[in-house]
Amino acid sequence: MTSSSSTGSTGRTDRDGTPSRPAYADRVYRSVPAFVCGVALLLLAAVMLVDALFNSELHLWLTVLAGVVTAAPLIVAFTMRPVVRAGGEGLLVRNPFRTIELPWRAVSDFAAGYSSEVRTVDGKKYQLWSIPVSMRARRRASSRQRKAAMSDLSGRTPVDRPSRDPLAGQPGHDPNRSWADNALDELRSLRERALGGEAEPSADGKRVRWSWPIYVPFAVGAVALVVLNIV
């Protein structure tokens, strides 16, 4: 299940009281199962490393160490790192290998096909890794829509079941749609509320940064792994 949480805006200010960085804290979208899986994999890697330290020769331990240094950044990148933060000033998208900061004026729309994505006014598209599209969830949503339509025709009241959707019960949430579709609708609403329909579209302020803390240790570990297997 992917979670969404709401917090207060936490933008920092300079000494003169002006915002120094945009605030992205009103809504946070993160995959809790992926995060937990990442923590478990890192713990498993640590156990393997300690076991190799006490039960293997130095060369084998160094090989295991290089393997862990290579794999750990990828584990973090794909399980713990992805998040989407939306606030009054814009959107922060943290994907496995890039971080994208988008003021609302730079966002043209959101879309969900086989993956969720944000589209910008300059024609770019960026995937939202922390808001995955589930075909199973969409089939469930379609099934609920059909049942609701049949209940309306027959005059019977449908039986409500507890929802596992973290957005359930929130304003604007449609229980007959998938979580990803509801999340994107919520992001559209945040954008419209922030802009008020008056701001001119502009890509100014858009920032795309590569995640060097992921690339560098992965590269170091991969080179060490190759060298140790050659020696």
pLDDT at 214: 96
How far is it, in rounded angstroms, from Cα 157 to Cα 130?
35
pLDDT average, residue stretch 177-188 = 85
pLDDT average, residue stretch 195-215 = 87
Q: What is the pTM of this model?
A: 0.75
Local confidence band at 12 (pLDDT 50, 70, 90 cut-offs):
very low
* 13 conformational bin, left if phi > 0, alpha if psi -120 to 50, beta if neither: beta
Per-domain residue ranges of the chain: 2-12+21-132+178-230
pLDDT average, residue stretch 40-63 = 94
Is a pLDDT exceeding 70 seen at residue 1? no
Q: What is the 3-state secondary structure (H, E, C) of 89-150?
A: CEEEEECCCEEEEEEHHHEEEEEECCCEEEEECCCCEEECCCCCCCHHHHHHHHHHHHHHHH
Local confidence band at 41 (pLDDT 50, 70, 90 cut-offs):
very high
pLDDT average, residue stretch 99-111 = 94
**Nearest residue to 102 (alpha-carbon basis) of 80, 117, 81:** 117
Higher-scoring residue by pLDDT: 134, 133: 133
pLDDT at 171: 45
Cβ(99)–Cβ(209) below 8 Å? yes
pLDDT at 113: 81
Number of Cβ atoms within 10 Å of the Cβ of 121: 17
pLDDT at 162: 47
Local confidence band at 202 (pLDDT 50, 70, 90 cut-offs):
confident
**Nearest residue to 97 (alpha-carbon basis) of 127, 66, 131:** 127
Number of Cβ atoms within 10 Å of the Cβ of 6: 10
pLDDT at 200: 82
Q: Under DSSP, is residue 6 helix (H, G, I), strand (E, B) or coil?
A: strand
How far is it, in rounded angstroms, from Cα 92 to Cα 207?
10
Local confidence band at 18 (pLDDT 50, 70, 90 cut-offs):
very low
Q: CA dihedral defined by 111, 115, 120, 125, rounded to 10 degrees?
A: -140
pLDDT at 59: 93
pLDDT average, residue stretch 103-131 = 92
- 154 backbone dihedrals φ, ψ, rounded to 5°: -85, -15
Q: What percent of the chain has pLDDT over 90?
A: 54
In angstroms and rounded to an integer, the radius of gyration of the C-alpha atoms of the chain is 22
pLDDT average, residue stretch 33-53 = 95
Q: Considering the chain, what is the average pLDDT of its residues?
A: 81
The residues near 10 (Cβ < 8 Å, ≥ 6 apart) are 23, 25
pLDDT at 140: 64
Local confidence band at 148 (pLDDT 50, 70, 90 cut-offs):
low
Distances (CA, A) of 160 to 144, 175, 183, 219: 10, 10, 21, 52
Of 50-59, 110-119, 145-154, 160-169, minimum mean pLDDT range: 160-169
Is the Cα torsion angle 38, 128, 4, 144 positive or negative in sign? negative
The residues near 66 (Cβ < 8 Å, ≥ 6 apart) are 221, 224, 225, 228
